[in-house]
């Protein structure tokens, strides 16, 4: 039974890693949109990994380090390679350097995560969110990355990743709540399409600042 408990979350982690690997393979055949979709699929497997670990009430050191390595491939390396390959001719030195800064920041973020005990709070923006945000913007708003100032987007994600800003883990603990939230999101997506998903990414990005402000205010009033 114990072996089965550890196998299921790791199976989802390996699936996440394979999404990143195949995303990189798609770049070699110029299928950039499909590569970005694989990164979003990796987000789903990363969520399932966390959900399975919570549901089975277990987390191994092996699984924790495997998860960081998978995230580095899918949400650190793959987004950088996609953006670099899709718009290579339009890049200057600063743009290329911003991609390097992003990759280094994600690497540092994941190493820091694997060495610490993390409960329900992430220290810094999660790598899963950063990579998924890049993939979504690439699919929904592809012209964004052609802007000369868009390199600041990668710098911002890099800074938030290595910061100490707290971000809550998204964990749905009841199946009924999960189904209700999924239904609401599907209806809203039909109406607002990609702008709904964009707003969700932005809201989670801002949630770290809101949570930090709330925590400090709470301590002040004690």
Rounded mean pLDDT for each run of 10 residues along the chain, 222 residues in total = 61 92 94 92 85 72 83 95 78 87 95 77 87 90 85 94 83 53 56 66 76 64 54
Q: Element (H or E) spanning 81, and its range?
A: helix 78-86
What DSSP character marks residue 195?
A: H
Nearest CA to 34 out of 22, 45, 43, 44 is that of 22
Confidence (pTM): 0.80
pLDDT of residue 81: 94
Pick the CATH number of 2-173 from 3.30.9, 3.40.50, 1.20.120, 1.10.3470: 1.20.120
pLDDT of residue 98: 93
pLDDT of residue 79: 95
pLDDT of residue 55: 72
Angle at 130 between CA 7 and CA 167, to 5 degrees: 80
Structure tokens at 136: 């979504």
Q: Element (H or E) spanning 166, and its range?
A: strand 166-168
Using an 8 Å Cβ cutoff, are 101 and 158 in contact?
yes
pLDDT of residue 8: 78
Using an 8 Å Cβ cutoff, are 16 and 71 in contact?
yes
Beta bridge partners, 166, equal 123
- Burial class for 204, CB neighbours closer than 10 Å (0-12, 13-18, 19+): middle
């Amino acid at each position: 039974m114990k072996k089965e408990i550890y196998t299921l979350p790791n199976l989802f982690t390996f699936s996440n890693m394979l999404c990143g690997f195949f995303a990189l393979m798609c770049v070699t055949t110029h299928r950039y949109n499909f590569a970005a979709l694989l990164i979003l699929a990796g987000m789903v497997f990363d969520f399932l990994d966390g959900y399975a670990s919570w549901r089975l009430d277990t987390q191994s050191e092996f699984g924790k380090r495997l998860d960081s390595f998978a995230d580095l491939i899918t949400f650190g390396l793959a987004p950088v390679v996609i953006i670099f390959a899709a718009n290579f001719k339009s890049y200057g030195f600063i743009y290329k350097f911003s991609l390097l800064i992003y990759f280094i920041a994600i690497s540092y973020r994941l190493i820091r995560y694997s060495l610490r005990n993390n409960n329900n709070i992430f220290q810094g923006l999660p790598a899963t969110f950063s990579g998924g945000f890049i993939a979504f913007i690439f699919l929904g708003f592809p012209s964004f990355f052609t802007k000369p100032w868009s390199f600041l987007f990668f710098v911002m994600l890099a800074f938030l990743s290595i910061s100490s800003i707290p971000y809550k883990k998204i964990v749905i603990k009841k199946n009924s709540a999960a189904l209700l939230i999924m239904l609401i999101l599907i209806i809203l997506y039909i109406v607002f399409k990609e702008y709904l998903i964009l707003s969700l990414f932005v809201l989670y990005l801002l949630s770290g600042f809101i949570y930090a402000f709330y925590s400090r205010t709470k301590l002040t009033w004690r």
